[in-house]
Structures are given as structure tokens and as C-alpha cells.
Amino acid sequence: MRVSYLLILLLGIINTGNIQAAEIEQFFMPGELIIGHEELKSECTNCHVRLRDTTQNKLCLDCHDHKPVAEDIRNKEGFHGKDQNARSQECKVCHSDHKGRDARVVWLDKDKFDHRFTDYELEGKHELTECGGCHLENKKYRDARQKCFECHSEDDAHDGNLGEKCESCHNPSGWGKSAFDHDKTDFKLLDAHKKVNCNACHIGGKYKDTPKKCVSCHAIRDVHANRFGKKCASCHQEKGWDKTTFDHDQDTDYSLEAAHRDASCNDCHSPKYRVSDKKNEIRNCYSCHRSDDAHDGLNGKECQDCHVVRGWPYAEFDHAANTDFALNGAHDNLACEACHALGAETKEIDTACNSCHQQDDAHKREQGTECNQCHREVAWLQDVRFDHDLTEFPLIGQHAAAGCESCHATSVFNDTGSQCSDCHGPDDVHEKALGEDCTLCHNPNDWLIWSFDHDKTDFELRQVHAELHCHSCHYKPLEDMDRSSWRCADCHRRDDIHSGNFGNNCDKCHNQKSFDEIDIQSLKHLGSRKTAGGSE
């Protein structure tokens, strides 16, 4: 019954005029339209075709606000064209109406929305960005800005000087990570230049007409103060400012050897040096090493005559070839200053030993100034040679084996006496009883090997006398003894039993064979003398 009534009513609407039909349609409207469709409430045919439900999508897409959606579906672009569900379903599945002025007609789950089904796939930092960062409030989602510059204009450190195509250099992984290929410009970045920040060359964000010459950027680091010109590439390279390629051996007339290779340019090229000024070119050692000249210019300016580039202290002066004094022995290891004192003219130096060794002369010049007669250049005190046989006291016997200090208490030498007693006085067991001329008995071979021929004196030793010890007769210093006459009584007075009655000439009766043995003839002679005198 109810269905029949509705059919009759619909047939009536069809046969009724448009005005009356609209009024009847509004009577059956399921609810108020959304605020966006408020102006269409009086004419249902703006969105609906009477009695045709399947054609409603076309009316939705034909609307001027939705034409881009229709194109997306047709071209399979955008969310409605790429998402299979959105492309195949009716619009009203997601966008229903007649829910009231403030009703929500866009059923979109932001948390689950897959941005890959749009024309702007989220990458890098964009994946972490809130929706509201790009989709502004009260704005349609499709109206969101898609160009980098539209969102990042405030981040543009270049102030628009590089245009609005940020993606030419930057990428979504990070604003500071530039992907600009500098090799596509007129200046390829090599080695150290690849690590340089853009602002280091493009001052103030200026990218057009950027200078390409080294000196344009590196002038501030030019330690040469423009003395070597502006062609930095002649020496330096992009691997590093300190890695020079200048070949001093090939590019100049002065090859660098040994220690010179370790020197910096400024060590030789003073602030006054200029490449363009040939007068300032360095050609001699003295121009650099003046301050190192310990000779104060006394040896001239031809440093290379003695020194070598291996090192300033390594002098290789050939003293034998260039002077009259060859350096031998210990002289070869001496520093120049040991002989050539500062302030002394080298060419006029005295080559005599005494001129240098005067302070070493322990003889106090008593031996003269010809030191080389005894000393050698190997060492002052090593292998000292002296021919004592050329003196007034030749060394023979034990004297030849004795050390110098045995006789010479000091190094003056000339203050040593030449008499035996000068050295052997303490060894004189005779206590001068036999005089001071030791050589009369002793000889240099050994002190205990002695010989004395008493027969050469005024008293020849015979028989018992020959067996006596010297001290038997010589018991006091010889100089204190009266050697004008030698009488028996001088020694045998205590043996004289006659108490001197027969005089002092004992040898008139006694002989040297034995004091007790009497000469008979002498005794007869003595008796005849006494008888004649009547005294005996």
C-alpha cells in the first residue's frame, strides 16, 4: 500500500512543473546540505538526476571545484587517480552530504593516510613533518604547496640569488646536505676544494661571477705577501695549500740540496724579495747565513769554502791544501775556535806550538818553545819523546828504565841536579864518608854493583887491609879527614901497645900481613939505634 503511494507521488512529480517538482524534492530532502552546498539547496538537480542514481558521480566531478579530481581519475594522478578504491567508488562513499551545515564530509584518517598515492611522495625529513606543516588550515589538501621555495623561502641563505629551484642542490634528507654537482660549472671541485663550505668561496651568498683565480680566495693566506706573484698554481696544488709542487731545481738556477730542502721559502727569501726584481735574487751563502757567521766576517764571505749544505756545523775545509799547517792527530778533531779565537785574523795566526799551548807548558819555558821536539799531535801527553842522550846526562843502565818523575820532581826539568848525590843522597850508607862522587864505586847498572880500585889512591890496600870493610877506615865524612898523609897510627893507635914510644910509623916493624907479625930486620935496626944512644 505504501509503495504504491510513493510510485503515484513520483509520477505526479514527473508530470508537475519544475517549480512544483523542486518544492516536492525539498520536502523529501534527507537533511540539510553542508555549508559548501548551501547555495544549491533550492535545486536538487545541481547534484542529482531525477530517478537516476548512477549518474551522480558525473555531476560531482563536473562541478568546477572538482574538475581537477576528474582529471586525476582520468589521468590516474593524484590521490583519486592513484588509489584504486578512490578511483572506482562513488564520491558519496567518502563525501556524503545532507548531514547539516557543520557536518564533516571528508572522511580522511590522517594517521593512516599513505602519501605515496599522491603526486608528492614524502621523503627524508618530510616524512617526519606534521600534516599542518604543509596543509594549511581551511585550505584544500590539493592546494598544499609542492615547490621547495614555497615552504623554504625563509631558509634561503642565498636570498633568492640562486633562483627558486632548491632541489637543484638540496634534497629532502636535510636542508644542509647539498647535492649540487659543481663539476657541471666552469670550476670543477678537486681534492681539498671538495671539502670547502660554499660560503668560503661564495661570500655573502654571491654565486654569479665568482672569481676562479687562486689569489682571489687565497690572497689572505699568502705568507709571501705577493712577493712571488699571483700565480699560486705555479707552486701550490688543490691537494693542500701546504703541498707545493714548485721544483726549485728545474725552475731556478739554484738547486736545493740536503738541509736546504727542509727550509721554508721565507727562510731564504726575505720580505724584500720580489720575483720580478732580479736584483734581490739570492746567490751566495753569506746573504742567508750572515747571522750564523761565528767568525764575524774574519774568514770572508765564501762560506762554501768550508761549510756544506748537509748542515752548517759540518765544515769540510781542507786545512792541509789551503794552509801551511796540516791538521793531524788531535788537531783534526778540534773546533776551529780552539785555534782561531774570535777577533784574531785567521791568515796571520801563529802556527808555532807555543802560540796555542803556552798555557799547557808545564816546563815554564825552561825547555824552550819547540814543543814538537818532545810532544806529538796524537795527544799532548801521549807518546812523549825526548832523547836524553843529547843532554849533559845520558841515560844508561837503570837510569834508562826510570820514569822521568824519578829524577825530575817538577816539570821544569832544568832544576834537577846532575850529581849522583842529588838523587841518591838518601841512599848513601857511607854518610859522605867516601865523598859525594858515587861514580868512583857505583855504576848505573845497579846500585849494589860497585867497584873501586884503592890502588889508584895514595894508600894501596895489601893483605889484611884488602879484606877490610871501607867503614873500618872511613868512619867520618871524607872532607873532615886529613888526607895529606896516611899513617898507621891514624887507625891503629888503640892497637899500639908501645903507647907511642916507637913513634907513629908502625910500618917500621909491623907489616900489612898481620899487626902481630914483627919484621926482624926492622927490630934489629931499632935495637942498634937504642944501644948507640944508651937509652935502651
Question: What whole-number distance in Å separates Cα of residue 497 and Cα of residue 513?
Answer: 18
Other Cβ atoms within 10 Å of 335 Cβ, number: 10
pLDDT of residue 280: 54
- The CA distance from 308 to 193, in Å, is 41
Q: Are 441 and 451 in contact (CB under 8 A)?
A: yes
Nearest to 446 by CA among 388, 390, 402: 402
CA 507 to chain centroid, in Å, comes to: 104
Q: Give residue-wise pLDDT tens across range 309-336.
A: 888 777 777 888 888 888 888 888 888 7
pLDDT for the residue numbered 128: 85
Number of domains the chain is built from: 1
The pLDDT score that the predictor gives to residue 2 is 45
In a domain, residue 72? The reply is yes
Does 79 map to a domain? yes
Query: pLDDT at position 150, please?
Result: 84
pLDDT at 520: 66
Residue 37 in any domain: the answer is yes
For residues 155 and 177, what is the distance between their CA atoms, to the nearest angstrom?
13
User: Judging by beta carbons within 10 Å of its beta carbon (0-12, 13-18, 19+), is residue 118 exposed, middle or buried?
Assistant: buried
User: DSSP string spanning 445-507?
Assistant: TEEEEE---GGGSSS---THHHHS-HHHH--S-GGGS--S---HHHHHGGG-TTTTTT-S-GG
Cell of 513: 900481613
| Residue ranges making up the domain that contains 58 | 31-143
Q: What is the pLDDT of residue 536?
A: 36
Q: What is the pLDDT of residue 527?
A: 52
**pTM score, whole prediction:** 0.36
438 domain residue, yes or no = no
DSSP code, position 80: H
Tell me, yes or no, whether 80 lies in a domain.
yes
Whole-angstrom distance, CA of residue 77 vs CA of residue 75: 5
Q: How does 56-78 read in b/e, with b if 16+ C-beta sit within 10 Å?
A: eeebbbeeeebebbbebbeeeeb
* Residues of the chain where predicted confidence (pLDDT) is lower than 50: 1-8, 13-14, 16-17, 529-536
The verdict on residue 204 lying in a domain is no
Whether 105 is in a domain gets the answer yes
